[in-house]
Amino acid sequence: MQKPWFSFHLPSYTFPDAPPGKMFERTVEQARTAEACGFSQVTVMDHLYQIPNVGEVDEPMLEGYSVVSALARETRTGRLGTWVGGGGEQRTLRIAAKHADITHWFPLPMSDLQRKTDLLASYCEESGREASTIERALGSPVIVTRNTAEADAQLARFPRNGAST
């Protein structure tokens, strides 16, 4: 049986108490702490600018592949990798097929996820890469409540899109 793994993802390199010149040092600190806490993988964003809802577009960024290379020097046991997040079928999945260790999608109907999986596989084939070498991650919120009434109250705050208790 395969041992389960837990991934620690760094979506941003900007920290309120660290000036831009200390971004990498703080990133190393977080990666080492994650490793010490038992996380078996550390992943980083690969963006040249910050994406909306994670931070401000003009926040300082580090280039993902350089960060992974430098973290390899600073950590000992964990896996390192880059995420290509999003399921855009014309550009994002093509980039993921060429470069991603992990691709991150959001909850969608199974038919949409299957279409994106098939499309990613075809882009991988075009790139000469096995689609099975790319891990898939699905960002799905979990809300823990004491009972169904609390769960229903929490879910009422969100669009339904098929969610249920």
For residue 20, how many other CB atoms are within 10 A of its CB? 13
Q: CB–CB of 34/67 below 8 Å? A: no
- With cut-offs at 50, 70 and 90, classify the pLDDT of residue 129: very high
| Residue entry with tokens 């038919």 | 111
pLDDT of 125 reads 96
Least confident of 17-31, 74-88, 89-103, 126-140: 74-88
Report the distance separating Cα 152 and Cα 165, nearest Å: 7
- With cut-offs at 50, 70 and 90, classify the pLDDT of residue 60: confident
| Residue entry with tokens 């577009």 | 57
Q: CB–CB of 31/67 below 8 Å? A: no
